[in-house]
Structure 1
Amino acid sequence: MADTKLDIAFWDYDRTRPLVDGTVKIDGVDGKFHSAPIVTEIFRGMIADGSFDVSELGFTYFLRTFKNGESPFVAIPVFPNRAFRHSAIFINKASGIETPQDLNGKTIGELALYGHDAGIMPKGMLMHEFGFKPETCKWVIGGLDWPLKPIDFVPHTHSANVQVTDIAKGKELGAMLEAGEIDALISADVPKCMLEHSPKVGRLFPNFREVESDYYKHTGIFPIMHTVVVRRDLLAKHPELSQFIYKGFCDAKKTAQEKYKHGLIFNSMGTMFPWFSQLVEEDLAVLGEDWWPYGIEANRKSIDAVLRYHHEQGITDRLFKIEDIFLPEFLTT
C-alpha cells in the first residue's frame, strides 16, 4: 500500500530537523515539509489557506478555531515550541514599574494580537502570583520593529472590560517602548532596543533565569506555546495516521536530545557557545532527563494552565478540557 502524501509544516527547530533531513521517517507517510521565516505565516497557511495537512499551531491560534465546541483540527500532544515567559515582559525604566504589581493601570503593548501565545502565559502567571489585573491597563496591539501582516485569520477575542486598541499606522511597539509611549511590552520576540542595550528599557524580571527556574520548581509548569494539529477530515479517512505522526515527531525530538547528550562527551564542540555543556547539564538537573516532554501525562499541568488562562482572559468562551482538544488515543501518553 502506498504511503499517504501529506504536506507538513513547522518552523526550523532542532527537534524537527531530523524529519526534514530524512534521519527520521514517519511510517506510512510520504511527507513534504514546509516552513516560513515568521511562524505566524505557517499558522495562516493552515487556518486561512488550507495549505497543509499537519501543522504546528500556536495554542491560542488553535483554540480560536473552535466554533460551537469543535475545530476543523485535532491536536496531538507534540509541543515544538515552549518557553518560560517571565523574560518576555519588557519595561520602560522611566515608567515607574519596579514590581509586577506596578503594571496595573499602565499602557502595555503586545505583539500581534491580545493574547498571543507569549502573552497568555505571562498574564496568567502575573494574575495568579502577583495580583495583576489586565482590565486596569490600556493595551496596544501591533508589530514590534518591522511590518507585520494583520492577524486576520482568527477571532480577536478578549474580556469585555479590557481596553484593546490597534497600534497607530506607522508606529512600532519597540520604538514606542523606548520612547515611553507605552510603559511595558509583552512579546515573544525581543525588541531591537533591548538587543541594542538601550539604557531606557529593561526586563521586569532582570534575573529571569533564576525566577523562571524557581517558577518551574514550585508550579511544575514548563509553559507550552505551540502544539501540532492534524486536519479532522484527514483523520476521518485515515485514522491510523495520528499515531504514525505522533511517533515521527517523538522520534525526531529524541534524536535531537541524544545528540546533545552525546555531545557532552566531546564538550559540545559542535556548537559555537562556550559552556554549552554546563547549560545542558543545568537544564537536566532542573527539568529532568526528558527536559522537553511530549505526551499528556508529563504536560498535564502545563496544558491545564494554558486552557485555564485562555478562559480567564476571555479568549475562549468556555473552559476547555484536555479531552476536548486531543484525540482519545493520546490521553494516556
Structure 2
Amino acid sequence: MPSKLPLTLACWDYDRTNALLTGRVRAEGIELNYLPMMMPEPAFRMLRHGEFDIAEMSLSWYARTVTQTSRPFIAIPVFPSRMFRHSCVYVNADSGIKEPEDLKGKRVGCPEYQMTAAVWLKGILADRHGVPVNSVGYLTGGLEQSGRTETPMNLPADIRIEAIGPDQTLSAMLASGEIDALYTAHAPSSFTGDGEGPVRRLWSDPIAVEQHYFAETGIFPIMHVIVIRQDVYEAHRWVARSLMKAFEEARDIARAELFESTALKTMLPWQPLWAEQSRALLGGQFWPYGLRENEKVLDTFLRYSFEQGLSERRLAPEELFAPETLDVAVI
C-alpha cells in the first residue's frame, strides 16, 4: 500500500475542524499532523517563517501576498472563521459618539490597520454609515500589551495612521479618553459589559444590527482562510481538493451536532434553538465553503481592501484559490 503524504496543519481547534484533529475525518492520501493553535499565532509563523505545510491565515494578510512576485501560499475556499463584527466597535462614554456617523473626525484605535476585522468594519462604516476611511485618524498598537507593530504599508496620503507609544495600550487609552473609539477583534479589558464604566459598545444591540445587515446584504463576513505553502502545492497539487473535501466533511459533522437536543454538545443552554434560529435567518447552509457560494462576500472584502489602500489593484475572488478548487460545488 502506498504511503500517505505527511503534512502539518496549524489551525485552532474549532468545532468545524475538530473531526480532523481527532482523526474522525481523514483527508484522502494525507497523514495529517494537526497542531491546534489560536490565531494569530499560525498566521504569524506561516508569514514570517513558512513553518507549516498548511495553516489558518487572516484573509487580509493572505490577500496582500497574492500579488507578490514569488507567491508564498495558495488558499482553498475553506473558511474556518467567520464573524459579524458590529459588536467589535467600542467607544469612550465621554467621546460624544452616539451614532456611527459620529466617528468622523475622531481618533480611532486599531491593533492593525490591515487586520481582517478592521477591514470589514472600515468598509461597512463607509458603505452603510457615511464614515469614509479617510475621515478618521487611526492609532495602531497593542490591545493589552505594548509594542505591537504591523508590516509596513504604502497607503494613500489622505489616510492617517499613527503608532501609539512604546508603553501604551489601546485598551487603556480608550478607557482614559486618549482615543475615542476602538476597532478590535478581541474585546478590550476596559470593557466591563455591564453598561457601566468608561467603555461601551457603539451598538448597544449588535445582534439586531448584524441580523439586519445580513438581511439586507446576504453577507456573513469571512475572517480566515486555509492556505497551503506554495512549494507543497506545486509538488502535490491534488492536496488542494483532498483537503477541501475533508474540511467539508468535518464541518458537516459539527453542524449536525449543533441541532442535537438529546444532550447538549456545548455549555450553551439554548444551543439547538439558537442553531435553528441561525438556520432560519441565514439559510440551510449557514457556513458555506467554495468560491461560488461565497463570491459576493469575497468580492466585497477585496473591494474594501483596495479602497483602503491595502492592495495595489482590486483582486478577483478566483485569484485567491487553487484552480483545482474553483469548479467544486461545495455547500
TM-score (norm. length: structure 2): 0.94
The residue aligned with 2:71 is 71
State how 1:50-199 maps to structure 2 within 5 Å. Answer: 50-68=50-68, 71-111=71-111, 113-147=112-146, 149-151=148-150, 154-195=151-192, 197=194, 198-199=196-197
Q: CA 1:157 to 1:204, structure 2 compared with 1: closer, same or farther past 3 Å?
A: farther
CA contact (8 A) 2:61 2:114 kept: no
- Matched residue SS, 1:43: helix
Q: CA 1:291 to 1:148, structure 2 compared with 1: closer, same or farther past 3 Å?
A: farther
Output the CA distance in 2 between the equivalents of 1:149 and 1:181. Answer: 18
RMSD: 1.6
CA contact (8 A) 1:159 1:315 kept: no
Deviation at 1:145, TM superposition (A): 1.7
Q: Residue 216 of structure 1: which of 214, 226, 229 is its match? A: 214
CA contact (8 A) 1:92 1:177 kept: yes
Output the CA distance in 2 between the equivalents of 1:157 and 1:230. Answer: 27
Output the CA distance in 2 between the equivalents of 1:149 and 1:286. Answer: 38
Q: After superposition, give the CA deviation of every residue in 1:92-150 in whole Å (9 maximum; x if it has no partner).
A: 11101111111010000002x11211100011011011111221222111111235654
Deviation at 1:271, TM superposition (A): 2.5
Output the CA distance in 2 between the equivalents of 1:81 and 1:157. Answer: 27
Higher mean alpha-carbon deviation, 182-191 vs 288-297, is at 288-297
Output the CA distance in 2 between the equivalents of 1:66 and 1:325. Answer: 7
Deviation at 1:233, TM superposition (A): 1.9
The residue aligned with 2:198 is 200
The count of aligned residue pairs is 326
Deviation at 1:157, TM superposition (A): 4.4
The residue aligned with 2:28 is 27
Amino acid at match of 2:242: F
Amino acid at match of 2:7: L
Q: Residue 326 of structure 2: which of 316, 320, 331 is its match? A: 331
Give me the identity figure in percent. 36
Q: After superposition, give the CA deviation of every residue in 1:280-307 in whole Å (9 maximum; x if it has no partner).
A: 1111110112111111122111111111
Q: CA 1:155 to 1:295, structure 2 compared with 1: closer, same or farther past 3 Å?
A: farther
CA contact (8 A) 1:114 1:158 kept: no
Q: Which runs of 5+ in 1 are unaligned?
A: none
